[in-house]
Amino acid sequence: MDHAKHWRRLVRDLDRWSSASAVAPDRIRVLVTKEGGGQRPVVIVMTPEHWGDMIGVAHGSFESALDRVKQTLLALRPHEGFAVYTDYCLDPSTTDSLPDNLDLPEPGSGVWVPVHRQDGHRT
């Protein structure tokens, strides 16, 4: 896969959707329309290789991955100015990096609970 080619296409298509430009090798600045009108800047933090993973592994096509990026940008809350790549997707963030510890539970800290079907029998 030609990562540079797909990266340039991502920037071009985001620019057609709104206003976007590559501001660093791993940064795209996009003006996102706010609910009440107007636009606000948001920075996508992702490398061309990450974008290649999103196209191929996570979404299967350029168009599907692009739609997901747009959905993520539109869903950002007012205090979230960044969309940061992690595990084949973009996550909202207030900074250009995600915390190392995302407050995940410790391994083995869960509790097993029996599941019952609608007829009352355990599965």
pLDDT of residue 97: 86
- Stated pTM of the model: 0.78
- Work out the mean pLDDT of the chain and round it to a whole number: 85
pLDDT tens for 74-114 read: 999 999 999 999 988 999 999 998 766 555 555 655 555 55
Distances (CA, A) of 100 to 18, 28, 86: 31, 22, 11
Going by their DSSP bridges, the two strands 89-93 and 19-24 should be labelled as unpaired
9 by Cβ neighbours in 10 Å (0-12 / 13-18 / 19+) ranks as: middle
Mark 35-74 as b/e (b = at least 16 C-beta within 10 Å).
eeeeeeebbbbbebebbbbbbeeebeebeebbebbbebbe
Q: Tokens in use for 14?
A: 């985001």
Between 6 and 34, where is the model more confident? 6
Beta bridge partners of 85: 90
The residues, ordered by sequence, that sit 6+ positions from 1 with a Cβ below 8 Å of its Cβ are 52, 55, 56
